[in-house]
Chain A
Amino acid sequence: MEMDTALNRTRRQTLRCGALAMLLAAGVLRPDEARAASRAGFEAQTLETALQALGGVVARQADIVLTTPDIAENGASVPVTATSRLPGTTELYLLVEYNPRPLVAAFAFAPGTEPEVQTLVRMAESSRVWAVVRAQGKLHAVAREVRVTLGGCGV
């Protein structure tokens, strides 16, 4: 998607701010080809294939703290906090096992950024939520069960 055509096609108003146009011209976000390569796993339809796409071999790990509600009343917006205590953490992934596309988010931390994120995810149904951490090149994971009383992907 070339920028001009994409912007002409939708939400043209995004470009009305001159300062923003300058930011866009600076081309800070990665080119489309690079982005596509980094999105391995997002199309996966099972937890297993998503984890394989991230590099496979996941060790269960107590040094990742995953905080979720036990029961989520609204699956459209479930709070998740994940913290890695593993040295050399560079990336953190959030997955919802029974979502149609389990991989929800990937976060890449620059040196000096704490390996912790707090956000909200959609849950189609009751499922385990996974936090997967890449530390010193290896994947580690923890999971927590969340019961959803109103699903978030179909509603």
Chain B
Amino acid sequence: MSESIKIRASVQDGLATVRLRLTHPMESGLRRDPAGKSVPADFIAELEVQHQGRSVLRCDWSGGMAPNPLLAFKFKGAAKGDRLRVLWVDNRGVRSAAEAVIG
């Protein structure tokens, strides 16, 4: 679902700055709810960012990432109008993807 991935990207002198905001509970599986029941693991396990179809960053995560993860990084060789694609899969096999244009 694309609304689960928010992408902000800008470029200066070919260096792109990418900021991602993902909607996900990022449950480690080790937490207990207020009633004392174990909360099942539910976290984004893998995420990839592609620029014009080329992978620029791959991430493997655990439930130790904060809920609704934020991630910022930079890569070279970008231009205004280039396409970015973000894909993730969580530990339960749920997948999501979104695209954005570098502004």
Measured CB to CB, the residues of A under 8 A from B are 1, 3, 5-7, 9-11, 13-14, 16-17, 19-20, 23-24, 28-30, 35, 38-39, 42, 76-78, 96, 99-110, 112-114, 116-122, 152-155
Contacts and interface: CB of A to CB of B under 8 A. Distances in A.
B37 interface: no
Q: Which 9 A-B pairs have the closest CB atoms?
A: A6-B93, A104-B64, A120-B66, A1-B93, A118-B72, A113-B75, A77-B66, A114-B74, A23-B97
A20 B63 CA distance: 25
B87 interface: yes
Tell me if B's interface is mostly helix, strand, loop or mixed: strand
B48 A29 contact: yes
B73 A113 contact: yes
Contact of A103 (B64, B88, B97): B64
Nearest to B97: A23
A14 B93 CA distance: 11
B48 to A, nearest CB: 6
Interface of B: 1-2, 15, 26, 28, 30-32, 45-46, 48, 50, 54-67, 69-77, 85, 87-89, 92-97, 99
Contacts of A152: 66
B70 A120 contact: yes
Interface centre among B58, B63, B76 (most CB of A within 10 A): B58
B71 to A, nearest CB: 5
Contacts of B59: 105-108
A119 B31 contact: no
Given A1-B93, A23-B97, A153 B30 contact: yes
A10 B67 contact: no
